[in-house]
Structure 1
Amino acid sequence: MKTAFVGLGAMGYPMAGHLNTHFKTLVWNRTAEKAHQHSNEFGTVVLDGFAMLQDVDVLFTCLPTTREVIEVLEQVLPYLKKGGLWIDCTSGDPVKSLEVAQRLQAAEVTYLDAPVSGGTTGAIQGTLSVMVGGPRAEIERAQPVLQSFASKVVHVGEVGSGHAVKAVNNMLLAINLLSAGEGLVALAKLGVNLEAALEVINVSSGRSNATQNLIPQRVLTREFPATFALGLLAKDAGIALDVARSSGASTPLFALTESLYKAARDTVGAAEDHTAVVKMLETWNGVVLK
């Protein structure tokens, strides 16, 4: 089986490396130098022209948004192999994903939306979780390639379901991070030792990934490593709100959270790590969490 991977960002770069250990893999990135770097590091083949896709069985995309996926689609559509798979690991838009799937179906290519969770650490270790939308038979066909970089692959429904689940998952991340930040800001203003407070919280009912990992490792250290951008989490919060609205669900907390992340994106900076949303809370309250 021959594969190709488009999008060598913080997640895609190691994912494509794992893929190449099992399958011959072509790589492409908007910045060509990064594709050549990947080739030197992992032994992948640089995709110099999209005509090279003609004998590729599985094409992966892992891009910032569905807009970039559609841009790639416009360029590669004439070269796709009939009967092939397009596996989209982008944290994308469920509605637009359906449009992509329909266009690919006309070209006799099956589209699966397969966003991942587990962060850059999971991508590097090859232990990501994948939530996949699409026909069950095609997902079974995709299992070997997905398992090259994932420890868990879950079929969550038809096309678009994977992106919907991912958006809601990231909304929950956004809520947990924001609520934990608010709680710690309040404690900081009271003069409470935050490390001690987290020690108790993390063995109590208020614990979350935000309190156990993100805040101790990124906020209290003041490192805020650029892994998952604040602007992308704001984008995902917007998709989650759209998912809720399209289903007719009443989700006031989603709406409030989405507006707060947009504010953080615009004031703290879209390129900052998502944990830097706490900086907005610190500014509002005149404290620094450390």
Structure 2
Amino acid sequence: MKIGFAGLGAIGTPMADRCAAREGLAVWNRTATKAEAFATDHPGVSVARTPREVAAGMDAVITCLPTSGDVAALLEGSDGLLAGLAAGSILVDCTSGDPATSREIAARLAEVGVAFVDAPVSGGPPLAAKGALTIMCGGSAEDVARAEEVVAPFAGKVVHLGPVGAGHAMKAVNNALLAVHILALGEGMVTLAKAGIDPRAAIDVLNASSGRSLASEVLIPERVLTGLYPQLFRLALLEKDIGIAEALARELGVAAPVLASVREEYRGLRASLGEQADYLDPIRAAEAAAGVLLRG
């Protein structure tokens, strides 16, 4: 199976790395130097100069971009994906996108005989590098079965959730819950530190109790208590995902006051911390506001 890969960002790069052993892999990135560096590190991988080139002659194309709008824009023009995708091929979109735009993209591709599966991922760069991501799929059973073969190099678990858009709905709600956990844990940990409780001891208790989460089990110990705060996932993208989840709830007539409140909080954080802030920087801001450091 020949695959084109578009989008060599923080998670796209290790995903593409897992695909590099496949014969005929082509990569494209908006910043061409990233694609060139990737190809240099992976003999046999070719660099596509345009989205059209990354799709030409391929059985499947994987997109991993910041937004569904970016994917839709990539289709357009004489050098766009649509100009290169052949009838019978499949586009597997691993972007953390929105269901409505995914359905529009799928309908557009169906007109030219190209299948579409929304397949956002969870697990971050570390699990991508291990080939252990969870893939949340939306599409027909036949198309998802094809997509499963496409994503196999970086997938640990593939779940078919429903029609096109279901994968992106699932990912948006998942990330919204992550955002809730990060905010609540940051506030709670700062409160405990101000109360004189050692942050490491507090985390040990939380992780043996009912308040534990990925944020407490992995993110705080590895990235906050160490003081490392690596820049791995932009807060702006998490805020985008919360917005997708909130909009979905509103569209379906579901009251979601917690999501609405968290969305407003993240909007404010995005404005104050900037577009390049990491998604854990709200905890750093809480430390600064309280005058404590969560280290242990």
Tell me if 1:200 matches 2:201. no
The CA distance in 1 between the partners of 2:165 and 2:179, in whole Å, is 21
CA RMSD of aligned residues (A): 1.3
Q: Which residue of 2 aligns with 1:123?
A: 128
Q: 1:261 aligns with which of 244, 257, 266?
A: 266
What are the equivalent positions in structure 2 for 1:134-153 lying under 5 Å apart?
134-153=139-158
Shift of 1:78: 2.0
Q: Which residue of 2 aligns with 1:243?
A: 248
The CA distance in 1 between the partners of 2:17 and 2:125, in whole Å, is 13
Q: Which residue of 1 aligns with 2:138?
A: 133
Tell me if 1:175 matches 2:175. no
* Partner amino acid, structure 1, of 2:58: V
Tell me if 1:34 matches 2:34. yes
* Partner amino acid, structure 2, of 1:7: G
Q: Which residue of 1 aligns with 2:5?
A: 5
Shift of 1:36: 0.9
The CA distance in 1 between the partners of 2:111 and 2:245, in whole Å, is 29
**Contact 1:264-1:280 at 8 Å conserved across structures:** no
Shift of 1:255: 0.7
SS of residue matched to 1:83: coil
Unaligned runs of 5+ in 1: none
What are the equivalent positions in structure 2 for 1:15-164 lying under 5 Å apart?
15-43=15-43, 44-49=45-50, 50-51=52-53, 53-74=55-76, 75-164=80-169
The CA distance in 2 between the partners of 1:80 and 1:137, in whole Å, is 19
SS of residue matched to 2:107: helix
Q: Deviations over 1:54-88 (max 9, x none)?
A: 31110110001112111111122122110110000
Cα 1:51–1:285 change in 2 (3 A) is closer
The CA distance in 2 between the partners of 1:51 and 1:177, in whole Å, is 40
Shift of 1:52: 5.7
Shift of 1:204: 0.8
**Contact 1:22-1:148 at 8 Å conserved across structures:** no
SS of residue matched to 1:147: helix
Question: Hey, which bits of structure 1, 4+ residues long, moved more than 6 A?
Answer: none
**Contact 2:138-2:164 at 8 Å conserved across structures:** yes
Unaligned runs of 5+ in 2: none
**Contact 2:15-2:154 at 8 Å conserved across structures:** yes
SS of residue matched to 1:131: strand
The CA distance in 1 between the partners of 2:211 and 2:4, in whole Å, is 43
* Partner amino acid, structure 2, of 1:40: T
Size of the alignment, in residue pairs? Answer: 290
SS of residue matched to 2:56: helix
Shift of 1:222: 2.0
SS of residue matched to 1:55: coil
Normalising by structure 2, we get a TM-score of: 0.94
**Contact 2:234-2:278 at 8 Å conserved across structures:** yes
Q: Deviations over 1:127-168 (max 9, x none)?
A: 111000001011112222211111111001100010000000
Tell me if 1:288 matches 2:290. no
The CA distance in 2 between the partners of 1:145 and 1:53, in whole Å, is 14
Q: Which residue of 1 aligns with 2:224?
A: 219
Normalising by structure 1, we get a TM-score of: 0.96
